[in-house]
Structure 1
Amino acid sequence: MGLDYRKAGVNREARANAKKAISIFKKPRGTIKTPYNDLLPLGDGKSYYLETTDSVGTKVLLTQMAGRHDIAGWEAVACVVNDAIRCGATPKSITNTIEIADSSGREMKQILEGINKACMESGCFVAGGETADVRELVKGVSPNPYMVIASCFGTVPNSKIIRGSGLTQGDVIIGMESSGLHANGISLARKALFRQFDGAYAANESKGKKLLQQCISPTKLYVKPFLALAQEVEVKAAFNVTGDSYLKFDKLSEFNPGLGFDFNFFKPQPIFREIQRAGRVAWDEMFKTFNMGWGFAVVVPQEDENGALKSLKKHGVRSSVIGNVVRGHCISIAFEDAVYRLKC
């Protein structure tokens, strides 16, 4: 038996059960629930706001190994702005928390540079943040370890909300190319690839160095091309291919009973095959864990397929039709002459 996410330290089922505790949180009257974001009324009756929060997770171990601390800052922003746009919201501002052993080191400056660069490319600004020197709390693989967390505040007019409902059989799923792993599945990737975590290669040797650079490739920012796309065609649903990867399409099924998703076009970057081979990871587990080449996806009507592809190309995003909405309730992946049913 090869590696899987549970063996790498992430128990999907236990995590899902733990998340049920969020039901204790109360939402204001008028809150709009979408598959991946809750939208709260601003008070003018016409606009809504949201906040998304995430951390860079164990990708910080790899940025520390590579000495690329700026990428950790970039990742914190990328995770939350790409989450915010799923409902059609425009990211407005970022707040961040940096927990670090010693904030006077060069790591801090580089992290902030990465945050600033990602904000500028996303069209939003840093509204505030917190830096905590907590050497006793943070552990890592460098003399000055850290964790980076960010939140994004965004707004959307009622008329522009992407509600994720109203899908119909035959709707087209378009994928936007990723840069590689992005910031998800890193626990499994680390333990498959790098000897420091019981993997196959030493990170300070030729093969390991190349793989490390591929693993820390910065997450693509989809904010500007996606918001432009949503102005030009009807986007019925949008999906950031992050934690649990294609399994999370089941949230769209909850808003569209009787419909499932068939995916049939993947050209994963070489890093994914390296992980699969080194860790002997089953292909269905790969599709449950990694983006497999597509970092963001949208669902559009068939008649908007060509317009969507042209729009994304115009804005510099490589994209392709990767599947369709179908009758049923399964999430199926067709890849290399095999079909994997992730959920049915």
Structure 2
Amino acid sequence: MSSNSSYAAAGVDTAAGDLAVELMKEAVAKTHGPNVLGGVGGFAGLFDLSFVKQYERPLLATSTDGVGTKIAIAQALDRHDTIGQDLVGMVVDDIVVVGAKPLFMTDYIACGKVVPDRIAAIVTGIARACAETGTALVGGETAEHPGLMGVDDYDVAGAAVGVVEADRLLGAERVRDGDVVLAIASSGLHSNGFSLVRHILQNAGLSYTDVSADLGTTWGEALLEPTRLYAGPLVRLLEHEGLAASVHSLSHVTGGGIAANLARVLPRGSWVEVDRSTWSPAPVFRVLNDLAGTTLESTEGTWNLGIGFFAVVAAEAAAAVVDELGTLGLPAWQVGTVTIGPLRQGPFDELRDRPASDGWEQGAKGVDGGAVRLVGSYAS
């Protein structure tokens, strides 16, 4: 018996892996510009960085993430062409938060059994989203784990690298008193809070193929709505000669919800009240809360509720930035104003000792940032 056939007897099919690569090859190649060397199939992806000689002080930015339990819905419906976009959104959109332009990405898929069409569908989705964000997909790995994962199980992860000129780095240190906080619309749930989503549907006795009259589609279709991609439009905004300098910080609203993610990109000693009345969360958020018997407010720390990104910008440029974002396909609106100084109800240092006081969240994920709370009622 050959070593290959012995491996197949153990549950690993290298021929299926080769076929999957052939099926995805064309889509991956479409993400390759002149900076990518070597094509598909090498041990390592190669990217020509010669152009950074034009930078005074180039900084590399990197990010890694996965899609989470949203994958369980794709697996249940045997639909795998949207998960790739979710992965790119979770990884590449973190790169642009610091003002960096994404350059390249790699992916990793672990599965119980390589089903070539399935793997190709996932990677084709990744490649399509990479092309949309101007990111080269330079490499990846599909690992077959028989006995560790079920034959239809898989998980995906990825990592990306971008570059930013040091003096154009965005962050809390650029934020000024009176800056305007702009919300940028999400496309739905994106890729966070799906353990709660699945728990709600299970408790309600609903399946992903059931039609929701309130949503006008099946639950599966509503929940698999891909994550909106922000990197491409935001890079163009940051290259806009008249507006780039007006953008001081950006935040990607992912795990931790609305207030916590905004607080991470504000300086210590600052605070913002986000006005709920400035937007109406999409029906999917309302219907899920109705099923669970909870309120929209109770899920602000889990779901994005309609805000996928924040931009903190100079007040005098806020209207122009909103207009430009709209032109770039990203609906945006003002939700608050940054104040740097004491909170109305007491010194800022008192809040640090009581971060949950009166709904305030101060900093997050180890970042000693600003304080944020949501106020008012959501628009109907």
Tell whether the structures are fold-level matches, with TM greater than 0.5. yes
Give 1:132 deviation, angstroms: 0.4
Q: Deviations over 1:20-63 (max 9, x none)?
A: xxxxxxxxxxxxxxxxxxxxxx9986101021000111010011
- Structural mapping, 1:227-306, within 5 Å: 227-232=235-240, 233=243, 234-246=246-258, 247-253=260-266, 256-264=267-275, 265-306=278-319
Equivalent in the alignment of 1:312: 325
Give ranges in structure 2 of 5+ residues lacking alignment: 1-51, 349-359, 361-371
Which stretch of structure 1 is more off in the superposition, 158-167 or 295-304?
158-167
- Among 323, 328, 338, which residue is 2:336 paired with? 323
Give 1:245 deviation, angstroms: 1.4
Q: Deviations over 1:117-162 (max 9, x none)?
A: 00110111111111100133335xxx51110101011111113211
Equivalent in the alignment of 1:206: 211
SS in 1 for 2:143: strand
Give 1:168 deviation, angstroms: 2.7
Change (3 A) 1:64 1:282: same
Q: Which has the larger radius of gyration?
A: 2
Q: Is the 8 A contact 1:200 1:278 kept in 2?
A: no
SS in 2 for 1:126: strand
Equivalent in the alignment of 2:85: 74
Equivalent in the alignment of 2:170: 162
Q: Deviations over 1:195-216 (max 9, x none)?
A: 3xx3442223222962221111
- Among 224, 236, 241, which residue is 1:216 paired with? 224
Change (3 A) 1:135 1:281: farther
- 1:115 maps to amino acid: I
Q: Is the 8 A contact 1:48 1:157 kept in 2?
A: yes
Q: How many angstroms apart in 1 are the aligned matches of 2:273 and 2:133?
A: 31
Equivalent in the alignment of 1:18: none
Q: Is the 8 A contact 2:207 2:219 kept in 1?
A: no
- Structural mapping, 1:111-126, within 5 Å: 111-126=122-137
* Runs of 4+ residues deviating >4 angstroms: 42-45
User: Identity of paired residues, percent?
Assistant: 27
Q: Deviations over 1:166-202 (max 9, x none)?
A: 323321111111110000111111111x23xx34422
Give 1:66 deviation, angstroms: 2.4
- Structural mapping, 1:192-203, within 5 Å: 192=200, 194-195=201-202, 198-203=203-208
Q: Deviations over 1:311-334 (max 9, x none)?
A: 111112111112221343542212
Give 1:250 deviation, angstroms: 2.8
Q: CA RMSD in A?
A: 2.1
Q: How many angstroms apart in 1 are the aligned matches of 2:78 and 2:263?
A: 38
Match status 1:179 vs 2:172: no
Equivalent in the alignment of 1:58: 69
State how many pairs are aligned: 289
Q: How many angstroms apart in 2 are the aligned matches of 1:122 and 1:116?
A: 10
Match status 1:138 vs 2:149: yes
Give 1:285 deviation, angstroms: 2.9
Equivalent in the alignment of 2:114: 103
Q: How many angstroms apart in 2 are the aligned matches of 1:135 and 1:155?
A: 38
Q: Deviations over 1:102-121 (max 9, x none)?
A: 11342111001101100110
Q: How many angstroms apart in 2 are the aligned matches of 1:45 and 1:306?
A: 31
Equivalent in the alignment of 1:334: 375
Equivalent in the alignment of 1:30: none
Change (3 A) 1:239 1:145: same
- 1:274 maps to amino acid: V
Q: TM-score, normalised by structure 2?
A: 0.71
Equivalent in the alignment of 1:10: none
Q: Is the 8 A contact 1:56 1:72 kept in 2?
A: yes
Q: Is the 8 A contact 2:171 2:250 kept in 1?
A: no
Q: Is the 8 A contact 1:75 1:218 kept in 2?
A: yes
Change (3 A) 1:323 1:138: farther
Q: How many angstroms apart in 2 are the aligned matches of 1:64 and 1:335?
A: 39
